[in-house]
Structure 1
Amino acid sequence: MRTNNVVTKIAAGEKPVGFTMRFPSATIVEMMGLVGFDFVMFDSEHGPFTTSDIEELARAADAAGLTPMARVPNIHNSTILRFLDRGIMGIMGPHINTKEQAQALADACRYVPDGHRSFGSGRGSHFGQNTFRTGYMKHFNENVVVIAQLEDVAVLDDLDGILSVEGIDFFTSGAQDIAQSLGLPGQGEHPKVLEFEKTVRDAVRAAGRQMAADVMVGFTLDDMIFEIGVTALEAAKNQAG
């Protein structure tokens, strides 16, 4: 059965390193696995991923030694289930503003007794093989990673409740959506946004919980490509004199 690199590395006192993709490319997933990354996060909230894309990308990630994770477009149980059944091992739920939403996210990601995930016979559950079923469900509950994204000022109204949900493993923010909720569109580095993020981080840690950035390191593929492109262009200009 598949293990989660994020869970394994954190348990060993190490920080797993991963990257976020906003477009489907099994080739890039395979290449990044060869480089040595631990996980990939498919941004399905903003990226053009189909269900078939997710299954093929998860398969490519498994083959390359990467743990496939995804930011889902919403936290509806049926949406999350389709990702998990494709083989996704970690779920980031966006716009978590209440305890009820956090609990719904957590419950959708794990089987009974830790949640309410439905059992399907997709590749994520080894196609429902009888010899694996019971052990698989327990194993998956221990290996899935659930991240709640706190990215709206409304979070402060129920932050203690959100942080009390045990099925959420880690928390993260979203500067640009926070900025919008503060009436500061496009200003993700505004002091008010930074202050809000600090307030949330401090509350998370005071509650004995962890931010995702406390335990893992992440890069965005878009930024990496732009950086490589700028460097290559500058080098070409220098060579051209």
Structure 2
Amino acid sequence: MNNKMKRVWADGASCYKVLGAFIGFPSTPLVEMCAYNGLDVVVIDNEHGLFSDEQVEYMVMAAEAAGITPLVRVVSADPFHVLKALDRGAHGVHVPQIDSKSLAEQVVEAIKYPPRGKRGAAFSMRAARYGTIPTDQYLEEANRETFVCIHIESIKAVENLSEIASVRDIDAWYIGPTDLSVSMGLKGDIYHPELLAAVDVIKREAQRAGVRLGIHVKDAVGARDRFEWGANYVCLTVTSLINRAFHDYNTQSRQLFEPS
């Protein structure tokens, strides 16, 4: 595995801003379109989306062929879900709702092979190229290249940041502003001053811990603003792009012909 997302940071481009999209429904062509339009990452959203393991694997294959890094947002920190995504060949996982040190450690252990972790090995799987490479080479590559991303998206997680920060081998924290606002009783208001203050706290703790920081946005303006704010990694849900394109196409096409 050659994880382009990790390589671009490891090879000295520490300020490179990674841009991606979450896809919540099966579509290999959409994965390819994300790649051909210059995005760095596609996140196959198996938390809220509806995918079979086979569909996840096909989308990972499409991403690799098109040259974009394939990640999977799994359902939970349960090692079963993490293992399924990684055996399909995903270059890393997003794990939602991590709000304690013990859960963060569980994620790392599920992703890493021994001695660091507890991931079960099956060299016949796609991730290991069906057993066609030396096992020691595969184990080393997988532990080095797999992207480990945990979601910070609850008030409990914010309260436990200092403990979460002590867990080794996490590449990035990813802020989910909508979930965080709901957990704070703000009903999805991602622009509420209390929510924005909590997001700033997460940024400071991530910088102190030396981990990359990702955040979810709604549009290109939000992505630009969050990059300027200090995020290393920004994604939106691909339906946001599609809905905006439909809206613009519809309204702009009809403008001249609608009664004033």
Structure 2 residue identity aligned to 1:229: F
Counterpart of 1:119 in structure 2 is: 121
Counterpart of 1:39 in structure 2 is: 41
Identify the structure with bigger relative contact order (alpha carbons < 8 Å, sequence gap 6+): 1
Counterpart of 1:162 in structure 2 is: 164
Seen in structure 2, the aligned counterparts of structure 1 residues 226 and 86 have a Cα distance that, compared at 3 Å, is same
Seen in structure 2, the aligned counterparts of structure 1 residues 156 and 67 have a Cα distance that, compared at 3 Å, is closer
Aligned with residue 110 of structure 2, among 108, 111, 115: 108
Structure 1 residue 4 and structure 2 residue 11: aligned?
Answer: no
Find the aligned partners of 1:37 and 1:90 in 2 and give their Cα distance: 16
Q: Deviations over 1:111-133 (max 9, x none)?
A: 1223211112211111123x332
Find the aligned partners of 1:155 and 1:36 in 2 and give their Cα distance: 33
Find the aligned partners of 2:211 and 2:250 in 1 and give their Cα distance: 43
Q: Deviations over 1:122-149 (max 9, x none)?
A: 11111123x3321011011111111111
Query: Greater CA deviation, 27-36 or 205-214?
Result: 205-214
Structure 2 residue identity aligned to 1:240: F
Aligned with residue 225 of structure 1, among 225, 239, 242: 242
* 1:106 and 1:115 in contact (8 A); partners too: yes
Counterpart of 1:144 in structure 2 is: 146
Find the aligned partners of 1:50 and 1:94 in 2 and give their Cα distance: 19
Percent of aligned pairs sharing the same letter: 29
Q: Secondary structure at the match of 2:212?
A: coil
Seen in structure 2, the aligned counterparts of structure 1 residues 208 and 153 have a Cα distance that, compared at 3 Å, is same
* 1:9 and 1:15 in contact (8 A); partners too: no
Structure 2 residue identity aligned to 1:128: G
Structure 1 residue 188 and structure 2 residue 190: aligned?
Answer: yes
Deviation at 1:82, TM superposition (A): 0.3
Deviation at 1:19, TM superposition (A): 1.4
* 2:170 and 2:211 in contact (8 A); partners too: no
Query: Greater CA deviation, 47-56 or 33-42?
Result: 33-42
Deviation at 1:175, TM superposition (A): 1.5
Instruction: Report the TM-score when normalising by structure 2.
Output: 0.86
Query: Greater CA deviation, 187-196 or 80-89?
Result: 187-196
Find the aligned partners of 1:24 and 1:237 in 2 and give their Cα distance: 32
* 2:4 and 2:69 in contact (8 A); partners too: yes
Q: Secondary structure at the match of 1:211?
A: strand
Find the aligned partners of 1:145 and 1:127 in 2 and give their Cα distance: 21
Structure 1 residue identity aligned to 2:109: D
Find the aligned partners of 2:183 and 2:253 in 1 and give their Cα distance: 42
Q: Deviations over 1:174-223 (max 9, x none)?
A: 12221222122222322111111111211221233331253234333111
Question: Number of residues paired by the alignment?
Answer: 239
Q: Deviations over 1:24-68 (max 9, x none)?
A: 101111222222322210111111112111011111111111111
Aligned ranges 1:57-68 → 2 under 5 Å: 57-68=59-70
Counterpart of 1:153 in structure 2 is: 155
* 1:10 and 1:215 in contact (8 A); partners too: no
Which runs of 5 or more structure 2 residues have no equivalent in the other structure?
Answer: 216-230
Counterpart of 2:252 in structure 1 is: 235
* 2:152 and 2:158 in contact (8 A); partners too: no
Seen in structure 2, the aligned counterparts of structure 1 residues 109 and 27 have a Cα distance that, compared at 3 Å, is same
Structure 1 residue 215 and structure 2 residue 229: aligned?
Answer: no
Find the aligned partners of 1:37 and 1:200 in 2 and give their Cα distance: 25
